[in-house]
Each structure stands twice: as C-alpha cells, then as structure tokens.
Structure 1
C-alpha cells in the first residue's frame, strides 16, 4: 500500500520553480490525504539532504492538513514544500476557505482537539497565513543549517 502511495506521489507531485525549489500536490480535503502529504514532505526533505527534519516536517504537514479537513468545507487542498531561502524550508497547505486560523488557548488538558496551531507554533521557527484570491495558505517554516 505504501509503495502505491509513493508511486502516485512521485507521478503527481510537481516542482514549483527553479528560483525557489519546491514540490506541490493537490489532494482531497480528507483525512486520508495526510499520508501522501507526509510522504511529499519526507521525499522533498530527503532530496534536499534535510532528512533530519523529516519527522518534524511530517508532523507539521499533518496538523496543517488536519486543520483544513476539520475547519473547512473545501473539496481539495494544495500542499507545498519549498525552499524560499537557504536557511529554512516552508511547509504549507492552501484551501478555499477565507477563515483565518487563530492560536487557541485551551482551558483544560482534557480537551481532545484544538492543539493543531499550538503544535505548529512549537515546532516551527515561524508560521503564518497568506490570503489568496480563492482562500488562504497556512504555512510553517523550519530552520535548516546550511552545510558548506
């Protein structure tokens, strides 16, 4: 099953540009999209020699995709992994909702949800939201060391 997912991912993931290398894939806005999103992040990071960030990146994209699934009624999401600079990697999920996510303060440790952005905030160097003509993109940046 994993081999089939990886083959489909390799067949459909597309480079974003030569100026800022990256990969992007459009996925259904459904819980099952977490698996290919995580694979996209892991493959991109390994390709760039940043495999040490793979677990963190996979967790960040899991929360981004899960937030879109939970809080929007969009049909698809666009997951992107890019290198806008030498010192960081950006992991993003775009959907058709204009609702801006906010970092919540939980009133109890017993609440089952509401930790997605708190996890992203804890794992990333910085995170944010970009409004798009047809929705928004939520992103998180992971710092990476430049090896010379």
Structure 2
C-alpha cells in the first residue's frame, strides 16, 4: 500500500495537481483521504477537507465495487483559482457512473447521490479515443468561497 509518511509539497499557483496510483481495493480509501487532506492543508483549504474526504471515499468505493481494475489513480487539483477537483481514474470505460435508485432498506447505491449532495458539480470523462476508450475519470468539484 502507498504510504504518506512524507509531507505533501505542492505549489498553489498555476494549475497545481497531485496524482497517485493505488491498488483498486477498499482499503485505498483511507490513504486517499489522507492524501487529499494533506494536499488541501498545503493549499490552506482545510475548510474543504471533510467534503473532499467523503467524495474520495465514495469515488474509490465505486471503483472498487463496480470495476475489475487492478489499480486506480486519484487526482486532486485546482483547475482554476476558485475550484478544487477530486477524481478517480479506472481502466473500465464500459462501466459508466449512474446515480443509484436505492430502496429505503438498501445498504449501498447512494454514493453518487452523496457526491451530488456535497459537491458543486460532478461527472465523468472517457480517456482514449471515441472508438477505443481505455478508461474513465469520475470527478467532483468543490468551489471556494469568494475571497479565497
């Protein structure tokens, strides 16, 4: 498993991002949460940490449950000065994310609904060509409060 024993050093100018590959296992969620929290701390965006941690947990849970991939890539980045994007790439473009219609007693099926509730927007992008995609990236964005 990947270790986060060294502190995260990341620039807060331009379009900074940090990306790391993990085994496609439920245990990757804990390491992913720590990575995102460390990056947001380095960017002095601690107020986004709880929502970002929930998003990472759900994105990794979905990848591990719904794809046969051996590994996934987690990225946290700043596509603009006012947004943070958290994403997970898997190598299974055929299994597209769909918000679940979980029944009252179901124990799963609400991950994307949670992401929708805590993020400002979410979606997915296919990687590769239209005729031959090799993977997908499921992402969610958090907007910063004005003045940050």
TM-score after normalising by structure 2: 0.87
Q: Does 2:4 match 1:6?
A: yes
Q: Does 2:44 match 1:46?
A: no
Q: Does 2:75 match 1:75?
A: no
In structure 2, the CA distance between the partners of 1:14 and 1:114, relative to structure 1 (3 Å rule), is farther
The alignment's C-alpha RMSD in Å is 2.2
Q: Which secondary structure does the structure 1 equivalent of 2:4 belong to?
A: helix
In the alignment, structure 2 segments of 5+ residues that lack a partner are 129-133
- 1:31 counterpart residue number: 26
Greater helix share, 1 or 2? 1
Using the TM superposition, give the Cα deviation of residue 19 of structure 1 relative to its aligned residue in structure 2, in angstroms: 3.6
- 2:99 counterpart residue number: 103
TM-score after normalising by structure 1: 0.87
In the alignment, structure 1 segments of 5+ residues that lack a partner are none
Q: Distance in 2 between matches of 1:144 and 1:31?
A: 29
Using the TM superposition, give the Cα deviation of residue 146 of structure 1 relative to its aligned residue in structure 2, in angstroms: 4.2
Q: Which secondary structure does the structure 1 equivalent of 2:27 belong to?
A: helix
Q: Distance in 1 between matches of 2:89 and 2:33?
A: 15
Q: Distance in 2 between matches of 1:37 and 1:92?
A: 11
Using the TM superposition, give the Cα deviation of residue 60 of structure 1 relative to its aligned residue in structure 2, in angstroms: 0.4
